[in-house]
């Protein structure tokens, strides 16, 4: 009887040890998978440059519309070509272009699909960045992704990537809605003229 009880305890102990070993293996695998997933999520900037290096930005569309932004250096205000400086909202331009300079690739396509299927055979928009050294980065913007959260884009001849649509829309909208300072229209106060005043003005003096 004692031997049977001892045997049962040994079996139970062995089961517990085995369970503990399996649980530790599960936790270790779970940690490894989490680390792998975290490493995969890290996103890289699509432009390998500092925004302060850029002193020229040109945005154009397939219809031929174009807007040009320029500044003398990274510490001077932005201007818009053919527009008086005092009408340009340099702060807004700086804010939006800062998002562009740091935009990341949500996905890099390892195999390029047919360009006409993603709107890059005839890009809807083209963005040209020019640095103080004269280096240019030409970005072609194609169609939105099927789920509508990104754009297919290509920089020069590099692989096609997908970027955030909301960020890119802020940049592209500067073409149709330029960042300018709107001067408020002065209010016109109506003048009420009474009949007595009119009669006084038209009555001849004797």
Domain spans of the chain, in order of start: 1-42, 51-176
Strand partners, 163: 105, 151
> What proportion of the chain, given as a percentage, has pLDDT over 90?
57
What is the pLDDT, as a whole number, of residue 196? 59
What is the pLDDT, as a whole number, of residue 50? 81
Q: Which residues of 60-96 are buried (b: 16+ CB within 10 A; e: fewer)?
A: bbeeeeebbbebeeeeeebbbeeeeeeebbbebbbeb
* C-beta of residue 48 within 8 angstroms of C-beta of residue 102: no
What is the pLDDT, as a whole number, of residue 115? 95
C-alpha to C-alpha distance for 181 and 91, rounded to whole angstroms? 10
pTM over 0.75: no
What is the pLDDT, as a whole number, of residue 186? 62
pLDDT band at 88 (very low <50, low <70, confident <90, very high): very high
CA dihedral 43, 45, 46, 52 (to 10 degrees): 170
């Amino acid at each position: 009887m004692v031997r049977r009880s001892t045997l049962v305890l040994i079996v139970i102990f062995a089961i517990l040890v085995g369970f503990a070993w399996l649980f530790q293996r599960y936790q270790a695998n779970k940690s490894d998978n989490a680390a792998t997933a975290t490493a995969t999520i890290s996103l890289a900037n699509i432009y390998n440059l500092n925004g302060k290096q850029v002193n020229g930005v040109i945005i154009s569309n397939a219809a031929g519309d174009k807007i040009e932004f320029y500044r003398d250096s990274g510490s001077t205000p932005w201007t818009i070509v053919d527009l008086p400086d005092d009408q340009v909202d340099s702060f807004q331009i700086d804010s939006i272009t800062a998002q562009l300079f740091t935009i990341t690739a949500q996905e890099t396509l390892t195999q390029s699909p047919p360009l006409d299927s993603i709107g890059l055979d005839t890009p809807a928009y083209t963005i040209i960045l020019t640095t103080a050294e004269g280096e240019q980065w030409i970005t072609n913007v194609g169609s939105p992704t099927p789920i509508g959260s990104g754009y297919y884009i290509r920089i020069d001849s590099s692989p096609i990537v997908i970027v955030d649509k909301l960020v890119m829309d802020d940049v592209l909208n500067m073409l149709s809605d330029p960042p300018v300072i709107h001067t408020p229209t002065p209010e016109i106060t109506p003048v009420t003229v009474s009949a007595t005043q009119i009669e006084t003005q038209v009555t001849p003096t004797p």
